[in-house]
Structure formats: structure tokens, C-alpha cells
Structure 1
């Protein structure tokens, strides 16, 4: 065995030994030589021909997927290319199972500046932490892959997506999903794929598959569809400009159809070049005898808990937890040495999930007493605090959000980093939503970090839901914040509702009120076949427990007329199109009812505006007065902005200035200051190097303030320029207010515009006194 290990190290295949790749044959020695030759032939071939497939779309660039050239130590690797945009995706899974109660899958999408021919502009000139665009793309890929992993697989798995090149025409996210699908299919990691993904646009009513960047700018829809074989929908994410429901459904159907081409092509590649799927140790599962014992002890109590509509989130969770602990104690006394707490807890989870779901199928009632299509009680308020531009509180059941709107100048737009701008096509945003989910919202204690991936994802979804109703010509930058105060399901869609109310309270002329709702699903299958539903129930406005024990979290936002955003998070290996269509219909009906409730509080932009409404005006300055307004080095403009709080910027070469003020009083003050400056006598022309009489108007610790002419703004003559000798205070020289002194003028500082004066240069240098030495006299 020692010689075998030494040979393995010499051949640099110790990685395969450690990963368990070589332990699949009974004869270890034979396994080492056999698999080394396989790895050598598969990865180290001198042939230039690599496994590659091409998927064609009508009048579109071809999607290319290849493997065998890069990252050959990973369990699976693929390179996806569309146009000149390429992404390298690797898949690696550990050989020992994780002790976590959930599947530990991590997806990291990173975009390098070099892929766009750029250098990062930060101090270190290298990529730092993930950007918001990278986080959102990582979550998109994760939701496309996670549903197809076996439920019994608990090995830590990592998918890494590295942007190799970008052409600013094709987005890398679609390429990453397809390359990840190929990498997992080719690997030995257990996965029930492949899947295919396409982007769907809607230009002039026509469906466009994988639109280019320019086409997407003209499209009213940006939809990403991920689908598996047999036209099962795995993931949906969309932003839309109030697209009609029938057009949205047409786009989904077209996307699913095109995905089948990709699925079939990857399947062919897998059959020819894929590795055999590895065996794995199934995580601890209770035997049927233990499940029956737990069910016998808990079934009646669980039915009572899940049928008592008087329970709220906290009381229901407490009752379930107490029952779990009670059963653990009972079984601990009866089982003695065979007691396994983990197995009993898992058995209790199985029983509670089964009873919870069965009750919905049998009674069409949910744990809070609602029918499957019934909304929770909704209440909302606006104008909660006078000092805020806009504010609203939206309460749906036990989900509560507090939304605020802040309006600022166009100088406050959110600017994306260079690479994100190239990959997403968005350079800056004048409307953005920040979603906050503090731990107290679920009665927990946690770290108060600036933001988490979940917060970024939910905020981005709510922002998509509201972006379509923001006026295109709105003159201010809008920051909408949504803080979740209580959470029991669908806080992101509550943020859409609260955000719409806050925008109208702030006086933003939205095109129509918007609302959002989450749709759930409980499904039954034909035996062990998880791809064919035998029965299902669609749940409107789901609770947190229905999300946790259900099979889908389908979020949809929009106006009464159409859809603005959608995100489908599926927990089973795909949804039939029929279920997707019914979910969209249920969500559309629900959002119309929610908007009716919201309209009873406020249904359009507030009028008249609040007293703290910001003001923006244009002011034309005559050519001969522009220099006076700007001042040397922009000194006068900075003075006005500091004094009044207004922001002044040049709009054009014609001398039109844009003035933004936080309120009307600040605007009036700024205009008064501007008028006083441009109507004042023009500053006399001073000659560089000339000597002038200066009048001292103020003594300071650091020098004296002087004026050269009556209307002049006092300038500082620093201590260092008062005298040849070191001066700590002007009074040491006997200087007094009102005294006239001579100074030399050296122009103005090119950056600050401050006048540069000196008194020191007018004084003759003192003669050097030498000590008399007797030795020199002799």
C-alpha cells in the first residue's frame, strides 16, 4: 500500500485518492492504475478536439458549451460562450457528508475586471468583496440548480462561476446557469439535471429569445426561464414594464420550449463524456417503525394545533416545539440505549409536515382558518412622520413593514462599478430600494451586519416591482427603504405594497399603485416519481410555515393592469406549466384585491406637496455674470451651497444653471444670494506681483483678515506671510483692526480660489550678525 501511495503522488493523483474517486472498485491497486489512465485520457489528451456542443436559436448567436480544457481537478467543469461572452463554471463536492440540517450548496459568481479589459479602480487595484450584481447573479444560479439535487444528498457542494470575457452584448448570467448545468451533469456529483436557461424579451409584442443588450433596452420584459426535461419549470425571475398577463404567459411558454433544446444537448454531452455518478452515504433517516411511533404519539395533538385558527405565529411554533420536546422525553425513557435524538427529531419533522399538508388537501383550509385563495387581514397607514418626504406602514397578517422615501438631487444617483455596468447594462439608478430585515422581526438575536445576501435579493425583487411605476422624467433621486418590523411570510411583497404607498405619500406621480403577493403550493406525487403531480393545492398569500413546509414560493408584483416583477422559488424538481399558469392567475386576482384596500388610504400622488418637498429650478445667467457667480476656482458656488444647503450645477454651455434645494425656503435663500453676487460691482482686476494697501478687518490666531477694496470678501493673510520672523499671533507685531499694511498680490489658488497675499516678501532680510573672535583680531 505504501508503494501504491508513493506512485500515486508521483503521478500527481493524490487528489483523486483523497476525494474517494479511486475507491469505487474493490481492488485498490487496479483502481489506481485504471482511473489514472482514465483521467489522463480524459484531461491530458494532446488532441485539440475538445468535447463541445452548440445550441442554435432562431437568428440568434449560438450557445457553446465545452469541457476538458480547464480546471480538470474539479469534479466537473464547463465553459459557456454566447457571442464573445464566456464563463468558466466548476463544481466540487466533498466526500464526507455534512452535519447540517439543510443541503449546504454555495454558488459564487465573480466577474473580473480583466474580462472587460479594465483595471479595478479601488486602492488595491484588485477585486474585493462581491458586488450587488454578483450576489444577485449567484442567487439566480442557485435557485436554478438547487431543486434538482437529491433530497437525501447532504454533502457540501460549491459552484464557482468565473467571468472570462464579456462583450457588452450578451449577459453572463444565462451563460452561467447553462454552464453550471453542464458542469454538474458531466461531474460525478449526484444531480437530477440537466436544466436549460434562456432570457426572454418582449419587443413590440413579439417574443425575443436571448435578446442583446440593445434589444433588452427596448423590451418591456426581462424574463429568465430555467426549465428541466419534460418542460418542467425550475426557476422564473422577471422584471417588466406592466406587461399584460396573456403576454407574460406567452413569454414563459416560449422560454420553456427553447430550454428543451439546451437540456437535450447537455444530455447528449453527458452520455458521451460524463462521469458515473458517485455513491453517497444517505443522511440519517428514521425507519418506518420510528415514524409510526412518533405519529401515534403526536398525530392528534398536531391536528389540534394546525386546526386551531386562534394561534398566531409565536404560539403555534411554541406548541409544536413543546410537543417535540415531550415526545423526545417519552421515547428517551422507552428506548434507553437505542435512543437517537436526531432520528426522532427527523421523524417528528416528517410527521408534522405530512399532517400539515394532508389537512390542506382534506379540508381546503389552512392552519389560520383561511381558505386556499383567501388573503390575510390587511391594514395600512401613510404620512406617519411629518419630517419625512414619504412614509407608510403596511400590515398583512403578522407581516409588518415600515417604508420611507427620501428625495435628493441627481447628484445622489447610485452609480455601478465599471464591470457591473458592462455586464448588466445599467450605469446608474435614480431609484433604488433598500430592504432591511433585523433579527427582532422574528423574535431572534443576531448580528447587525450592513447587509446580507437575502436582504439584497429581496430588496432587488421589490425594486423591480416598483421601478415600472416611477415616472421616467422624475427630476429627483429616490431612495426607498423598507424595514421589516414583523415577519410571518412574504415580507418582500409587503415591501412592494408599503413602498407604493410611501411613494404616493411623498408626492411621486406613479403611473398606478402597485402591490405584491406570494403564492404557495402543496403537491402530491405518483409514488416516488417527483416529476408528475397527482394532486396539488395553490395557496394565496402564504404564511411563513406554509413557505417552510410547502413546495413553492411564487412571488408576483404589479398593478391592476399588468405584471411588473416575478420570482419563482421552487423546492420540487420542477413545475408543470399548468401549475405556473394557475399560480399567475391566483396572484393577479390577489394583487387586485390588495390594491383596492390600499386605494382606500391613498390612490394617487399627494397633492398639494408637503412643505419639505424638494425644489429644482433652472436659472439662466448672462455671459458677463457667470464668472461672478462661479467665483475664482468655484469659490462662490461652494459658499452658496454651504450657506443655503442648495446644490448648483451647470446644465449647458448656454449658461443655464440647475439649482436643487431641500425645500422652497432654501431655494429662495439661494436665489437671493445669487442675485446679490451677480448684481454686485465686479471685482477689480488685480495685477500679479503688484503691491496694494490692505486694511485689517479681523485678527485671528492664524493670521489677519484683510480687504484690498471696499466690496471685497476678506482674505486671510497667514502668520507665515506676515513677517520674516516666526509669528505665533498677529498681536505680537502690534497689528490692530483698521490698520493699513502693504501686501504683495500673487493671484489666486487654482484649486480653492483663495487670494494669495504676502507682507513678508516686502521686508528686507535682516543682516547676519557675526560674533567677534579675539583670535581673528590678532
Structure 2
């Protein structure tokens, strides 16, 4: 059977005595417009100690609890009857906001967002695909995530001393809320193939540090040059309600969060809400009341976005000079194996040679991470040579890699060679391939046909085209100039053929 709940019976006489002696002083101590947060806390503790000390020995514990109940009663009466807040702000007023960006020179992006006595230092770090967080979810298709937001709440931010161990419930929850608020504006991997890590360190807290994190993270991302689709701001709202009387509060501070009946955090852009979290302690929150609260939150969000835009309106056009540079190229899917090489030998060779990081995706997209453009271009050139595909009718500078009786195999790309048949080596008939070519010779060849994986090459077609250009050069100087430009590319192999031709004619004359 259910246990019957019996409400606690308070000592009415003691409660009346404490209220009579300390209500006026306690009301003054709660005025955070008059006293700072730390000073206010100190005065309240001193009054509580006096109330407990003045009670009989057996009533000291209850006296402390009655003092705390009086403190809450004063707060609610001021809200609902006197219509004033502890810091004397209007119900829809936001505390003073101060914003700085780029204050940490060596980070990829940074910001310092201060609202009242809440301050968040936010940094952004850009990384490669190897830096993605590996995750295990029920959805097997999602194995990693490229955008991470970590929230740190050290004890000193609220004037306390304590061990700084791993993340707790607060760090995980607030970090998840801020991450969810920013995820919709993060660019996709195709347009911005970086892994992003945002870290928010709360330096001071008096309410709504998670929403300060949202604002600071948006600013730091823009400072880092991340092309987010829109700036995101967040605001913490509160509700105090008794019967039909209520007060909707904008930008709640610590006491309003603690003694209020509902607090909800709203984050979003100018276009709409991206994240919302609610903690409700009372029933019967009507749709009309929520509509009023959300409209008040929208106006506050617009106000904060205006403040943010005044400091940095859009993402910086360039990344930090300390951020890695990513260059993207696409290769045919069937060339991925050749780029990687047996056991990763080929791609490791490119990485070691160029000093870059290379990530190959299954769809043929390759991301090259480099600290400078020269090394990235070198890596792209090496990959392009490996993954190049021969085109019919196109001329390539190739290297003779093997001679056989019926012709020669010429490598036109690293790892890709074609057959140059003996009949396609020269314009005149030759008996022995070795009379014309040697292994290691560099020659110009033209692709005649592609038959599956086989490539048919012709040197004769190139020689014929060059001869026609030379003849036409007598009437068209431009043709002669083009031939002179091409000559250095083929002189090694082509001139050897001409050097040997007179010798054969002398042999026939003999």
C-alpha cells in the first residue's frame, strides 16, 4: 500500500520571530543591485548564523531551515507583489554585455563573452578527419562526429575550491545543449572538410553559463573563419507563478534560477530556434503563457545578436595562419587502390615526401591537409599522376619501361603503361625495336585506343604530326614556334631515332 504523506508542521512561533527580526535586513542583503554577488552571499550567511545562534539549542536546525524559507518567501513576494527583481532590472532587461574576439593569438579562433557576472572564454580548434570523435550509437551508420563542443565549469567560477576531475552531469548536459544549438549552422563536410572542436571555459558564473557558451562559440567560430550559415545566440528565461499571478523573467541570474518555478533556455538565429530546454516545477503552464515567454525570449535573442553583429558580423574570409589547410580533389573510385598502394605503401610515401596528411574517402574524394600550399600542390600532383586516366587522342610524355620483340611498354603515368607496337614506333619500317628505343628513354606517344585495361600507343602518329607542323611552319610561323616549344619534351627519344637512321642508310649503300 502507498504510504500516506504527512506535511511537516513548522514552528509557527519561531518562524514569526525570525521574520520579525530579520526580514528587513534579509531583504536588503538580497538586493544584488546594491551589493555584488559575493558580498550579498556573505551578508545572507551572517544573518543566517545570527538567526540560528539566537534560537534554543533544540531549535537551531529548524531555525536555519525557517530562515531559508523566509529568504524564498521574500524573493517571491518581491517578484509577484512588488514586481521587482533582486538586481532591480526590469523583467525583460538583459544584463550588460561585453564581447571580445581574437584575443588569443595562437588559437584558430577565440572569443570572450561576458553577460553580467557570467563569463565564457571560448576557443575553436580546426583539425583533420583523423581528429573526429569515434562514437558508438544504435545507428550503425554514424560512427564518428566532426563537430564537438566541450563545456568546462571549474569550481573557481563560483568562488569555490574543489577537485577538477572528469566531466560531471552539469558539464555533459550544458555541453550537449550548446552543441545542439550550434549544429544546424555548421557547414557540411563537402564545403568545409574540417573537424571542429569548441571548448568553453566558464571563468565566472551567475546564471545562464550554457547560453553564454552558445554566444561565445558562435563568435569564436566566426573568428576562426568557419563559414557558419548564421550567428546563434541564447538566452535563459524564468517564470515565477502563484495562482493567476506570474512574472516572466529575461536573462535569469542564480537566485532567480534557484527559486523560480520554471527556467527554460532558448537558442537560435534570427530565423528561428535551434535548441530549447525546459525545467518545470509547477503544473498548469498554459499555451498563452508559453507564447508570451517565447516572444519575450525572441526579443532578447535579437538584442544579443545585434550586440554580436556589432563586434563581428560574419565569418572572417581567411582561416588563422596556424590552422591546417585542406585541399580537396576527386579521383575515380577504381583508382583508390592504386593511390593507397599495397599495404598503404604508396600513400605513406606521398605523406613522407610532402609532409602532408591525406584522407581518402570511399567515394574518391581526397582531402589533403598541409601547413603550406606548396606541399599540398606537390601531394596533389603526385596523386594526380597515379590516378590519371588515359584519354584517346591525347599525347603524353612517357618512359620506356620494357622492350619486347613486338614493341615496347611505355609508362605514361606512374603505374600505368601502354603498348607501343613495333609498327607504331617510327614512320619507316624497323626490324628491331632496340635499334630505335632503349629502356629509360622518354618519348612522346599518342593514345590510339583503350581496350579494357589495355592502352594502345603510337609514336608514329606524333612524329607525323610534328613533321606536318614543320612543313606548315614555312607558311605559318606559329606552327614552327609550337614545334620548338615541344622539342625539349621528346628530344631524348626522338633524336636517337634520327641519329641511327643515317647509319642504316650507309649499311644499305655498302
Same fold (TM over 0.5): yes
Matched, 1:487 2:205: yes
SS of residue matched to 2:175: helix
Partner of 1:313: 37
Residue 216 of structure 2 corresponds to 498
Secondary structure in structure 1 of the residue aligned to 2:111? strand
Does the Cα contact within 8 Å between 1:554 and 1:566 map onto a contact in 2? yes
In structure 2, the partner of 1:330 is 54
SS of residue matched to 1:307: coil
Deviations, residues 230-280 of structure 1 (Å, cap 9, x unaligned)? xxxxxxxxxxxxxxxxxxxxxxxxxxxxxxxxxxxxxxxxxxxxxx53124
SS at match of 1:507: coil
| Unpaired segments ≥5 residues, structure 2 | 388-396, 403-510
1:514 matched to 2:232? The reply is yes
How do 1:395-406 and structure 2 match up within 5 A?
395-406=114-125
| Secondary structure class of the residue paired with 1:633 | helix
Q: Give the Å deviation of 1:365.
A: 2.3
Q: Does 1:294 align with 2:10?
A: no
Query: Superposed, which structure 2 residues align to 1:437-448 within 5 Å?
Result: 437-448=153-164
Rounded to whole Å, the distance in 1 between the matches of 2:60 and 2:349 is: 71
Aligned pair in 2 of structure 1 residues 607, 344: CA closer, same or farther (>3 Å)? same
Tell me how far apart the structure 1 counterparts of residues 371 and 81 of structure 2 sit (CA, whole Å).
Answer: 59
Residue 583 of structure 1: how far off its partner (Å) = 1.3
Contact kept? 1:380, 1:394, Cα under 8 Å: yes
Q: Tell me whether 1:468 sits opposite 2:184 in the alignment.
A: yes
Structure 1 653/279 Cα, relative in aligned 2: closer, same or farther at 3 Å? closer
RMSD: 3.1
Distance 1:616 1:308, change over 3 A: closer
From the CA coordinates, give the structure whose radius of gyration is larger: 2
Quote the offset at 1:366 in angstroms: 1.4
1:290-689 alignment runs, 5 A limit: 290-307=14-31, 309-331=33-55, 335-336=56-57, 339-419=58-138, 421=139, 427-472=143-188, 473=190, 474-524=192-242, 533-619=243-329, 630-641=340-351, 646-651=356-361, 657-662=366-371, 664=373, 667-668=376-377, 670-671=379-380
Task: Please give the alpha-carbon distance, in whole angstroms, between the structure 1 residues aligned to 2:360 and 2:310.
Answer: 43
Deviations 1:607-658 (A, max 9, x none): 233323432223467999988864542234235435655321334576x643
Q: Distance in 2 between matches of 1:279 and 1:545?
A: 33
Structure 2: distance between partners of 1:454 and 1:340: 35
CA distance in 2, matches of 1:681, 1:556: 66
1:404 shift after superposition: 1.1
1:627 and 1:520, CA in 2 relative to 1: closer, same or farther beyond 3 A?
closer
Contact 1:441–1:484 (Cα < 8 Å) also in 2:
yes
In structure 2, the CA distance between the partners of 1:437 and 1:662, relative to structure 1 (3 Å rule), is farther
Distance in 2 between residues matched to 1:621 and 1:540, nearest whole Å: 54
Q: Within 1, Cα distance between the matches of 2:333 and 2:256? A: 68
Query: 1:410 Cα deviation (Å)?
Result: 2.9
Q: Provide the secondary structure at the position in 2 that maps to 1:557.
A: strand
Render the CA deviation track for 1:25-72: whole Å, top value 9, x for unaligned.
xxxxxxxxxxxxxxxxxxxxxxxxxxxxxxxxxxxxxxxxxxxxxxxx
- Inter-CA distance 349–426: structure 2 relative to 1 (3 Å threshold): farther
Q: Does the CA-based 8 Å contact 1:611-1:663 persist in structure 2? A: no
Residues 122 and 201, structure 2, Cα contact 8 Å, conserved in 1:
yes
- Secondary structure of 2:30's counterpart equals helix
Aligned to 1:207: none
TM (norm. structure 1) is 0.47
Q: Is the Cα–Cα contact under 8 Å of residues 613 and 663 in structure 1 kept in the other structure?
A: no
Q: 2:211·2:234 contact (CA, 8 Å) conserved in 1?
A: yes
Partner of 1:279: 4
Cα separation, 1, equivalents of 2:142 and 2:329: 30
Q: Which residue of 2 aligns with 1:100?
A: none
Give the drift of 1:427.
4.6
CA distance in 2, matches of 1:304, 1:620: 69
CA contact under 8 A between 2:236 and 2:265: conserved in structure 1? Answer: yes
Equivalent runs, 1:59-138 vs 2, <5 Å: none
Q: 1:299 to 1:618 in 2, by over 3 A?
A: closer
Give, in whole Å, the separation in 1 of the partners of 2:161 and 2:31: 30
| Structure 1 residue matching 2:3: 3-state secondary structure | coil
Distance 2:209 2:350 in 1: 43
- Secondary structure of 1:297's partner? helix
- Taking the aligned partners of 1:471 and 1:671, their CA distance within structure 2 comes to 24
Structure 2-normalised TM-score? 0.70
Could you tell me how far apart the structure 1 residues matched to 2:377 and 2:118 are?
A: 43
| Aligned equivalents of 1:682, 1:589: Cα separation in 2 | 74
Q: Deviations over 1:459-513 (max 9, x none)?
A: 1111111111112343222111111111100011111100110111111112211
The alpha-carbon deviation at position 409 of structure 1 amounts to: 2.3
SS at match of 2:240: strand
Matches within 5 A, 1:172-187: none
Give the whole-Å Cα distance in 2 for the aligned partners of 1:680 and 1:648.
27
C-alpha separation between the residues in 2 aligned to 1:683 and 1:322? 92
Q: Do 1:408 and 1:662's aligned partners in 2 also have CA atoms closer than 8 Å?
A: no
Quick one: distance in 2 between partners of 1:624 and 1:280? 73
1:676 Cα shift? 10
Q: 1:633 to 1:542 in 2, by over 3 A?
A: same
Aligned residues: 391
Provide the C-alpha distance between the structure 1 equivalents of 2:355 and 2:10, rounded to a whole number of angstroms.
68
Per-residue deviation, 1:682:
11
Question: In the alignment, is the contact (CA less than 8 A) between 1:410 and 1:477 conserved in 2?
Answer: yes
Write 1 or 2 for the structure with the bigger share of helix: 2
Q: Report the secondary structure of 1:546's partner residue.
A: helix
CA contact (8 A) 1:629 1:637 kept: yes
Distance of aligned partners of 1:677 and 1:312 in 2 relative to their CA distance in 1, 3 Å threshold = same
Q: Matched residues in 2 for 1:560 and 1:621: separation?
A: 40
Partners of 2:251 and 2:401 in 1: how far apart? 69
Q: Conserved in 1, the CA contact under 8 Å of 2:333 and 2:363?
A: no
1:468 match: secondary structure: helix
Structure-1 separation of matches of 2:13 and 2:353: 79
